[in-house]
Amino acid sequence: MLKRFKSSELGESASRRVGHNCTTDYAKSSKSKCRVCKKIIKQNELRLALMLQDDEGYKSTAWNHYDCFWKHPETKKLNGIEEIHNFSTLKPEDQAKISTTFKDFKQKQKQNQAVSNKRKRALEED
């Protein structure tokens, strides 16, 4: 199973470490597959990846279509656009698209957390 590990959980080998948890670029070929929908990511299509680790500590680049990326459960652990490696190399319109979607994604996440907390308090009062 692949997941994002905390820094304290990373293996000792420096060769296993990657300095970022997320990256983006335009697909160089049509060979990569989306980890969410399992379909091919077409050449020159905007793609985003989470850097995930297996249980042995080896990193894996989990590429996703733009829309599928926001459905991946590990995406909610990202704290900001600054965590997305190569973000500044994207076309300005794609930077704006990611920024807007990320802002909306985090806002929705906060709303869901508030509802969840409200439900917990209601259950505790009963």
The topology under which CATH files domain 7-125 is first zn-finger domain of poly(adp-ribose) polymerase-1 (3.30.1740)
pLDDT value, residue 24: 95
CA 94 to mean position of chain CA atoms: 16
- What residues does 25 pair with on adjacent strands? 47
Mean pLDDT by 10 residues, the chain (126 residues): 54 48 94 95 96 78 94 87 93 97 90 76 74
- What residues does 14 pair with on adjacent strands? none
pLDDT value, residue 29: 95
pLDDT value, residue 78: 87
Whole-model pTM: value is 0.73
pLDDT value, residue 19: 55
86 sits in the region (left: phi over 0; alpha: psi -120 to 50; else beta) called: left
Domain segments of the chain as ranges: 7-125
pLDDT value, residue 15: 38
Q: Tell me the H-state helices in the chain.
A: 66-69, 92-125
